[in-house]
Amino acid sequence: MAAFNFPSSPSNGDTYTLNSVTYQYDGTKWIRYSASVGAQGNTGSTGAQGAQGHQGHQGLQGAQAHISTSAPSSGVNNGDLWWDSDDGDLSIYYNDGNSSQWVDINTGPRGAQGGTGPTGAQGATAAAGAQGAQGHQGATGNTGAQGATGNTGAQGATGATGAQGATGATGAQGATGPTGAQGATGSGGSTGAQGATGSGGPTGAQGSAGAQGATGSGGSTGPTGAQGATGSGGSTGAQGATGSTGAQGAGGPSVLPSASSNPGSPSTGQIYFNTSDTKVKYYNGSEWKTLREAAPPLTLSYLVIGGGGAGGGDFRSGGGGAGAYRTNWNNESQGGGQSTGSSKVGTTGVAYAVVVGAGGAGSDSNVGGNGGQSKFDNILADGGGGGGEYASDSDGGDSSGSTGGSGGGGGGYDSNSGEGGSSGTYGYDGGNGDLTGSQQCGGGGGGAAGAGVNGSNANNGGDGGSALASTITGSSVLRAGGGGGGAYGGGNNYPVGGGGGAGDGRYGAYHEGRDATANTGSGGGGSTGPSQYHNPSSGGQGGGDGGSGVVILRYPSVYTASYTNGVTKTSSTVGDDKVDIITATTNSSQTVTFTD
């Protein structure tokens, strides 16, 4: 059989055929391929057993194996292997005497399986060849690269076993060359290192079987080479039929069992729906427990209003200013024209401070008292300023600063009447008092939604500033209006409060100012005279009391709020929320704690 002699400097796509095997050059290496495979022929009769061949020659040393995504170009020798780790191709580096190149040795396409032919007759066994003399044991050298395994000669007769030589280092697995046509079995050589199993060539039509060659004598055993790669397996048998599907198991209950009380003699893991408290309960092995839903975030909406200022006492006094008005509910505005407050998310188990500010106390013959500060956690709302009295430069009380509310109205006087009090961030200024002799009308207190009106004889002279509405309780309610001022005979015939429970002022004959409604944070009305001049006597002081403040909290109903003992409140449910209206606290140490 002729040796392969591949062309030098091939071009991509060139082909080369020898010994009925065709290779094509892919730009890097020669790849073995075949034309279409014909149908499998019948298996021929088994030939007679051939005679045993002579002792074969020693096999070649193993070659070096390379693994990379591109063909190695340096440090390679004839017979080296290269496995392309991208596409899984195996190639051998082959020198045909004129040039060296990489040649693909993967398996080609497989033809259809032909029927098995009858077995041929057993060939005669050849005589055994003579055993060669045993050489001296040499020192073990380094193992060279594994060479490709040549065609297998006929098996020789088995000779006497020689002394065991030292095992050399195992060389890399060489590739198995293509299988040639079956010839007579030659004499067996000594066994070389095991080469890698190469891919099989295409299967041609099955011809009749030739006679079996004689088995040659066995040679001495050489060092064991590395295990060759496993060749391609036979075709897979047809898939067995799939068994029929088993019957569907019975489904569990789609609705939990229900009962009005815990079942007796329960099993661990038992679960049911309790119709009395509408809770799902389970038995943990020792007691029944309620299965809780995951709680939503503790979103806290609030309305915090400071106490309103009192109206001034004595004659023609100013109305009281409203307490600071702060809220983050439903994008509603805060006092003083401020936009809604920031959202607030609470933490369970934390005690939050809660304080309701008192309304300012009215005086019989002096300026009205300022309202007290209300508080929820870090939300502070100062009280409104009190109204001025009937005296020179009797100004309304201030409620200035970053947590301040509305100022009180200035007192009316026949000269140097009082000015309205200054407001803070969450309120408006009080109105100035009138100094016109026949009018002498006190200024209105500032409200959460507008400033107090200056005292005059106009039909709105001395009116209190407007209140502000909130829907945090589920309906719209006005709160934090300014108190109306008191007027003399020539002034406005009835200065009114700004709404939201604010106290009205009085006119003409001597009367006390009206008290503001509790828990509105509105200002009290200014008086038209101290109690000694009241006719008929009412038994009250001159200036009207300011309304106490309020703290309103709205939160998801899955939470529970626990208040300390000094808190007075009412609670209701609005939709999915609870609403707590805190109307009084005994001191500034009261708190609320939420649990789920």
Residues 6+ apart with CB under 8 A from 416: 392, 393, 435
The tokens describing 574, both together, are: 């609005």
pLDDT tens-digit profile of 477-518?
Answer: 999 999 998 887 655 556 788 888 887 776 666 778 889 999
CB 46 within 8 A of CB 122: yes
Structure-model confidence comparison of residues 580 and 278, the more confident one: 580
Tens of pLDDT along 7-20?
888 988 888 888 77
At residue 593 the predicted structure's pLDDT band, cuts being 50, 70 and 90, is very high
Least confident of 30-39, 190-199, 308-317, 325-334: 190-199
Angle, alpha carbons 362-363-369 (nearest 5°) = 55
Structure confidence at residue 97 as a pLDDT band (50, 70, 90): confident
Please tell me whether residue 201 adopts helix, strand or coil conformation. Answer: coil
Q: Is the peptide bond before 536 cis (omega within 30 degrees of 0)?
A: yes
Q: What is the pLDDT of residues 126-165, one digit of tens each?
A: 344 444 444 444 444 454 444 444 444 445 444 444 445 4
Closest CA relative to residue 443, chosen from 520, 523, 534: 523
pLDDT band for position 377 (cuts 50, 70, 90): very high
CA separation, residue 216 to residues 57, 130, 140, 193, 563 (Å): 12, 11, 28, 19, 106
What is the 3-class SS of 42-60, one letter each residue?
CCCCCCCCEEEECCECCCC
- Burial (Cβ within 10 Å: 0-12, 13-18, ≥19) of residue 315: buried
Give per-residue pLDDT as tens, 418-469: 999 999 999 999 999 987 766 678 899 999 999 999 988 787 888 999 999 9
Cα–Cα distance measured from residue 213 to residue 440, given in angstroms and rounded to the nearest whole number: 143
Given a cut of 90, whether residue 360 has pLDDT beyond it is: yes
Q: In the numeric block, which tokens belong to residue 207?
A: 């011809």
Residues 6+ apart with CB under 8 A from 183: 213
Q: Which range has the worst mean pLDDT, 17-31, 122-136, 290-304, 500-514?
A: 122-136
Average pLDDT, the chain: 77
User: What pLDDT, on a 0 to 100 scale, did the predictor assign at position 60?
Assistant: 52
Cβ neighbours for 450, distance < 8 A, ≥ 6 positions apart: 428, 465, 466, 482, 498
**Percent above pLDDT 70 for the chain:** 66
pLDDT of 170-222, one tens digit each?
444 444 444 444 444 434 334 444 444 444 444 444 444 444 444 444 444 44
Beta strands per DSSP E along 459-559:
468-470, 477-479, 550-556
Q: Determine the pLDDT at residue 48.
A: 59
- What is the pLDDT confidence band of residue 276, given thresholds at 50, 70 and 90? very high
Tell me the pLDDT tens digit for each residue of 564-586: 999 999 999 999 999 999 999 99
